[in-house]
Every structure is written in structure tokens, then in C-alpha cells.
Amino acid sequence: MKTFTNNKTRHSKGLIFNIQKFSLNDGPGIRTVIFFKGCPLRCPWCANPESQRACPEKMYDHVNGNTTVVGEFKSIAEIIKMILQDRDYYEESNGGVTFSGGEVLNQAPFAIELAKVIKNEGIHLVCETTGFSKPAVFQEFMKYMDLIFYDVKHWDSEKHRAITGVDNEIIIHNLESALTTQKKLIVRIPIIPCFNDTLSDAAHFSQLFKRIGVTKVELLPFHQFGLNKYAELGRKYEMKDVRQLHAKDLQDYKKVLNEAGITVKLNGAF
């Protein structure tokens, strides 16, 4: 099992690999998405493989012949300056800021300090997370979130570890903790062929969710959107020959969850 980052010092800068403005797909309204670099998981289907390593790295564009460095250390002041440029858009659209990655909790000290400043500005704050963090850190971080997108990749810890590199016990524990709060929580399952896509998997997820109190989930069909990035990083893409999934492929999966009393979002609607 991988260990957590243990750095008690206050981080003056965070490692960011992208800041995307005017996003409409990462929470309500118009949003600025802060992409944190570094993740303890190594999911072979990751659409942002440049987010995994917690250090700047080179990417080579084979079409244009250009090499770029992905990942830059930025201060809270630098990030807040960019965020506040679009305050009017947030207010008009009920939008705000989203923390994504990578895994934001991999840089929890910096992320918490940044979240405090954002909330002091009265801005709506969302995070996308795997939940892989020490429980005390997770609970402190979640105090500042208005909406949480929480990915659960597998119900079985052994298979979770074999594919992603980490166990899922702490992920489930933190999910249970999040469910006890008054925060809005959206649980998501990326459905991956030969990993968690069988009806037996759906039944086991149903059992898990009923036990801990999850009543709604969102299913994310496997896609290959990040394929070219692996070549640019000089890495092998293990999912190249795996068939992409579509909403129609998950209807039976959805039915199993529905029959267990769990509402399923698929292809944009509950």
C-alpha cells in the first residue's frame, strides 16, 4: 500500500499543471478549474496522465515538434488573481472554482490554504477527488467544499490495489465520513472493461452503497480521450485496444443499481 505525503509545513506554492477558465463541465455555472499535479493512484485509463507524477515533466508534441514542460509551482496570490478576474461570471451563472487533478489531496496543505482564501471571497468551491487521504486531512479539507465529486473505482480492495496501486479501505472510510456531513456529494464510478464492468460488479457496488448510505451514483463510461498524451509523455497506453463504452452499454448495469434502490445518472439525466 502506498503511503501518504507527510509534510506538516505550510506550502507557499502548489504544483499546478493547468488552470482552465470558462469551464461548463466541472460543476454548476461558469467555473475556473485548478488542476493539481500529482496523484497516488496509477489508473491505466487516466485521461490526464500528465497529472500523475508530482513533479514538472516534459511532453513532446509529435505533430508540431514542440516540447513543453507540464507543471508549474504557483503561489496562492497568483492563483487568486486569476480566479478573481472572472468573479462577475461566477455570480451571473452561479458558478465558481473547481479543484481537480491529479488528486488535490496529494497537496492538501496548499489546497486547504487556497480553499480558505477562495471561501473568504464568497466563491462557490467544488472538488473532484479519489478520497485517498488521511481521514483527519480529508475532514479538514472538506470543510471548505460546497460540492464534492467522489470517484469510487472498485468495491474490492485487492482488485483496486492490483490495478490502481493503492487499497480502497481509506477511500471507502472517507466516503462514509463525507456522507455524514451536510455537503452535496456526487458519487461517480468510472466503468472500465475487464475491471469493474460486470453485472456482478454492479451488484457488489449496490451492496456497498446500501451499507454506507449512498443513494445516487453517476456512471462514467470508459473512453480513450487521453490516448495521445501517453505518446507525448513517452509512456505506453495500456488501454489502446480496449473498446470504448457508451451509455447504451451500461443499461443493464444501471438496472442492477436501480433495483437496489440506487438512482443512477447516465448520459446526463437521473
Q: Which helix (H) or strand (E) holds 129?
A: strand 124-129
| pLDDT recorded at residue 6 | 38
Question: How many C-beta neighbours within 10 Å does residue 97 have?
Answer: 29
Residue 263 has pLDDT above 50, yes or no: yes
Q: Which residues pair with 16 in a beta bridge?
A: 36, 72
Q: The pTM is what? A: 0.92
| pLDDT recorded at residue 63 | 78
Cis peptide before 102 (omega within 30 of 0): yes
Q: Which helix (H) or strand (E) holds 149?
A: strand 147-151
- In this structure, are residues 108 and 129 in contact, taking their beta carbons and an 8 Å threshold? no
Q: List, for residues 199-255, the tens digit of each pLDDT value.
A: 999 999 999 999 999 999 999 999 998 899 999 999 999 999 999 999 999 999 999
DSSP 241: T
Average pLDDT, the chain: 93
| pLDDT recorded at residue 258 | 97
Place of cell 497568483: 78
Kindly indicate the confidence band of residue 1, based on its pLDDT and cuts at 50, 70 and 90: very low
Q: How far apart are CA 209 and CA 221, in angstroms?
A: 19
- In this structure, are residues 201 and 159 in contact, taking their beta carbons and an 8 Å threshold? no
DSSP letter for each residue of 8-64: -SPPSEEEEEEEEEEESSSSSSSEEEEEE---S---TT-S-GGGSSSS-EEEEETTT
Residues in the chain, overall count = 270
Instruction: State the average pLDDT over residues 242-270.
Output: 90
| pLDDT recorded at residue 11 | 58
Residues 41-53 as b/e (b if ≥16 CB within 10 A, e otherwise) read: bebebbebbbbbb
Q: List, for residues 147-186, the tens digit of each pLDDT value.
A: 999 999 999 999 999 999 999 999 999 999 999 987 899 9
Give the architecture-level CATH label for domain 14-265: Alpha-Beta Barrel (3.20)
Q: Where are the domains of the chain?
A: 14-265
Residue 9: CB partners within 8 Å, gap ≥ 6?
A: 109
